[in-house]
Amino acid sequence: MDFKKLIQKAMTKGLSAVEICNTISEETIISLFKGEVDKAEIKNNSVYSVRGIYHGKMAYVTFENEEEDSDYVIQKLIENAQALTTDEEFEIFAGSKEYPEWEKADGGFTKASMADKIKLIKDVEYIASNMDKRIVFLPYCRYNEEKVSRRIINSYGLDIAKDYHYGVLILQVIAKEEQDTQSAFEIDVSLNYATLDPQKVAKKAVEKALSKLNASPVESKTYPIIIENETMCDLLQGFSSMFSGEAAIKKLTSLIGKEGEKIMDDSISIIDDPFLKDAINRQPFDDEGVVCYKKKVVENGVFKTMLHNLKTAKYFKTTSTGNGFKAGTAGAISVAGVNLYVAPGNVSKEAMIANTEEGLLITDMAGLHAGLNPISGDFSAQSSGYLIKDGKIVRPINLVVVSGNFLNMMSQVEALGSDLYVSYNGIGAPSIQFKGLPVSGK
């Protein structure tokens, strides 16, 4: 498709600005079931997302056929714009003054054959199956690989591109002892094929499942609580919309107008870092072409800034923070963090446990999407983990409900862990010890 020709033709039809975003993706999926490969496929996709401003209204057209008729695309843009009744101001970005140099690293994925990748997940399954006799079933063993490139070109002369390539190992194991059955997942994501480690994935999944066996609830009361890093990521993700300019426009966050106010403990800083080393989700610019940069959303407990795309920045009479992204390969631009994480402290998880006379280590919170309110900050989640007494883990726990308020909890920090974990979806946190949260058990 001749992007520039389509843009020139659209401008002659009365559009004041036009942008084309082309996303090309290649996904490799391999899965095993009971030692046999039940899926091995490579899926290729190319999506064209065109947006244009016609008489002050922004319209979108998405298609996959690179030979799509340009007159049809332009006519659809005009029709879609004419159907809009909103009074919002729209903008297509002319471009930042300069963009960072972006190193394209070869992760070695193209050098590994399909046979190599099948052997990789077979090794994962074999190791996990033979690690302990209490491992009775492996319902899910999968390798995913995704290669994505995205180009943005618009009527202002902007023409930029970015790409990324990563692989994922996913394993689920089932452990059984007497009448108790427990399940555990382990996900390993890497920018480098050689670092995907079947031994590590199998070991962590098996240890998680075995450690949950014979769990039982604890008495209902308020406990000092350590929330493990991966679970803390899940909690932060559930409340990440608090920091979104999009949520602020809709009055769906309690932080409207609170820039400069103290909202968390002095030890807490929350950072949005599109250049975070070794993170899967690294971005030189957002999907509107705005250059990304590292920013402190919360600094030493003080709320510093909402995250904005062009639309929300215009609404609040500020500038975009480079956080405008498509939810998928096409469609409207939303606000999203890029490696939004709680900055780590210097206390190990083991030291937190050793310093706890009686408390809980929470390693899993289920149903967070239904059990939290990102407007008020309240949450209530069925949780599991371990009971701590006299500085030692004494037994696994389950079927307890941990409740609280996210902002209040983040103002009651006892210790901040050194074990920063950043998930594949770009949310990060260390383990954090809190002074006390109410727990409903037996």
Instruction: Give per-residue pLDDT as tens, 363-413.
Output: 999 988 788 999 999 999 999 999 999 999 999 999 999 999 999 999 999
Q: What pLDDT does 331 receive? A: 67
Give the pLDDT of residue 58: 92
Question: Six-digit token pair at 175?
Answer: 């452990």
Mean pLDDT, the chain, rounded, equals 94
The structure tokens listed for 240 are: 């990440």
- Look up tokens 């039982």; give the residue: 216
Alpha-carbon distance 28 to 48, whole Å?
21
Q: What is the pLDDT of residue 278?
A: 84
Question: 34 in the Ramachandran plot: left (φ > 0), alpha (ψ -120 to 50) or beta?
Answer: left
pLDDT digits (tens, 9 = 90+) for 218-275: 999 999 999 999 999 999 999 999 999 999 999 999 999 999 999 999 999 999 999 9
What are the residue ranges of CATH 3.30.2290.10 in the chain? 3-210
The total of other beta-carbon atoms located within 10 Å of residue 92's CB is 21
Tokens at 308, concatenated: 């904005």
Residue 114 parent element (H or E): helix 114-129
Share of the chain above pLDDT 70, in %: 99
| CB of 142 closer than 8 Å to CB of 117 | no
280 and 426 Cβ atoms separated by less than 8 Å: yes
In angstroms, the Cα distances linking 40 to 3, 29, 65, 113, 427 are: 34, 6, 25, 12, 30
Say what the pLDDT of residue 329 is.
62
Phi, psi at residue 273, to the nearest 5°? -130, 100
Residue 120: which of 148, 144, 146, 147 has the closest Cα?
144
Q: Could you tell me which of 117, 134, 132, 145 has the C-alpha nearest to residue 32?
A: 117
Q: Does domain 3-210 have CATH number 3.40.50.2000?
A: no
DSSP 292: P
**Cα–Cα separations (whole angstroms), residue 336 to 164, 238, 246, 386:** 18, 12, 9, 33
Dist. CA 427–CA 424, nearest whole Å: 8
Q: Of all residues in the chain, what percent carry a pLDDT higher than 90?
A: 90
Residue-wise pLDDT tens digits, 20-68: 999 999 999 999 998 899 999 999 999 999 999 999 999 999 999 989 9
Residue entry with tokens 């799509």: 68
pLDDT confidence bin for 148, thresholds 50/70/90: very high
Residues 6+ apart with CB under 8 A from 337: 240, 243, 272, 297, 307, 323, 426, 427
C-alpha span between 273 and 275 (Å, rounded): 5
User: Which one, of 399, 442, 440, 408, lies nearest residue 222 by Cα?
Assistant: 440
